[in-house]
Amino acid sequence: MVLTTPLLDRLAQRGPVDVVATPQSAPLLAGHPAVRDVIVYDKRGIARGWRGMLRTARAIRFREADVPRGAQVAYMAQGSLRSATLAAVAGVPSRVGFATSAGRALYTNTVPYQADQHHATRLWSLASTDEEDRRPLAPLHPRLFPSSNDHAAAAALLSSAGVVPGSSLLVLAPGSVWATKRWPHYPALAVALQRDPRTANARIVIVGAAADGAIARDVSEAAQAAGLPLPIDATGRLSLLSSAALLARAGAIVTNDSLPLHLASAMGIPTVALFGPTTLALGFGPLAPHAESLGLDALPCRPCHAHGPATCPLEHWKCMRELPVARVVDAVADVMRVAR
Ligand code: SF4
């Protein structure tokens, strides 16, 4: 959803933009100036099955009633057959998607999937009318708009941990839905960052979902064992946009190839992104102005999966295990120095 926002900005120049989103991703678009409305499609919950799809299709038809039928276009950022079916059942006459997507049989126009481009560019190109128009003239920047309440929630969390305004913050995002994308050395990193004179003055904050709480505890225990200040554990305590608001105050983030990487891109935060079973070439790298992406480029098995497998097919998981802490510390110091 975050990487879709440059497309939304582009489409908003042509007319009203309504977005169909899952309950999990819909909150990300709150307050986004390019978006008129968000229609929630809870395909695994209350809108499960055909009846749920028909209800959602009716909601779409009702919302689009003020748009002349000839001007209604569905841009299929999510390329599933289910999404394409929903748009067709909702009676949207033009349906545009990637030529490689599972739902392509139901599209009225297809756009090439530019495998060599960043995914934000691929999504942005869905609104392109001809071949020359498929590459943006300037780098794309996703955007999110945390509200004043989101900023207040982030500020309250930091203040309750004794952080005063203007303090230097370093955010660690050690989680990922995909186990093999979780770099295992965040505990050692938290210690190394606090001992390195280039980064030692920054307070460490750990962000993530509630499910990342165990990793956050490991990081805290490592700091405690080393006699260093405890990181602030924000896992499970902030909404997505409040997390984005917290990132906006940070000097840098270290993140796996996962959602916080894209939140950081949207907030323009200096980013160190760690890639293991996936690579930058897949098109999901950081888009923040100051960013470094680290991975073991010489490891021949990379990438082994589009998202990251549940377990390493070779069982050694070298792509993450052997990515050294010292390289990450240097990269953090670099992005912070360049961003100053
Ligand atoms: S096969 Fe290689 S790239 Fe894939 S998880 Fe294992 S070490 Fe990483």
Number of the ligand 1 atom closest to the C-alpha atom of 302: 3
Number of the ligand 1 atom closest to the C-alpha atom of 309: 5
Pocket test of ligand 1: the residue of 257, 282, 297, 312 to mutate, having most ligand atoms within 8 Å of its CB, is 312
For the chain, how many residues are written? 340
pLDDT score at 312? 97
Whether the CB-CB separation of 100 and 119 falls below 8 Å is answered with no
The three-class DSSP label of residue 135 is coil
pLDDT score at 79? 94
Q: With a cut of 50, which residues of the chain have pLDDT below it?
A: none
Detail the DSSP E strand segments found in 113-189. Answer: 169-173
Whether the CB-CB separation of 182 and 175 falls below 8 Å is answered with yes
Q: Quote the DSSP letter at residue 15.
A: S
Omega of the bond prior to 303 within 30 degrees of 0, cis?
A: yes
pLDDT digits (tens, 9 = 90+) for 164-201: 888 999 999 999 999 999 999 999 999 999 999 999 99
- Give me the DSSP letters along 187-253: HHHHHHHHHSTTTTTSEEEE---GGGHHHHHHHHHHHHHTT-PPPEE-TTTS-HHHHHHHHTT-SEE
pLDDT score at 258? 95
Detail the DSSP E strand segments found in the chain. Answer: 18-21, 37-40, 73-75, 94-98, 109-111, 169-173, 203-206, 232-233, 252-256, 271-274, 291-294
- Whole-number Å distance, alpha carbon 293 to ligand 1 midpoint, is 17
Token pair for 99: 């030529």
Cα dihedral 261/273/251/199 (nearest 10) = 150
pLDDT digits (tens, 9 = 90+) for 102-146: 999 999 999 999 999 999 999 999 999 877 788 898 889 999 999
Angle between helices 49-63 and 81-89 (to 10 degrees): 50
- Whole-number Å distance, alpha carbon 102 to ligand 1 midpoint, is 27
**Structural domains of the chain sorted by starting position, each given as residue range(s) with its CATH number in brackets:** 2-134 (3.40.50.2000), 149-339 (3.40.50.2000)
Is the CB of 180 within 6 Å of ligand 1? yes
pLDDT score at 157? 97
pLDDT score at 281? 94
CA dist., res. 252 & res. 330, Å (int): 12
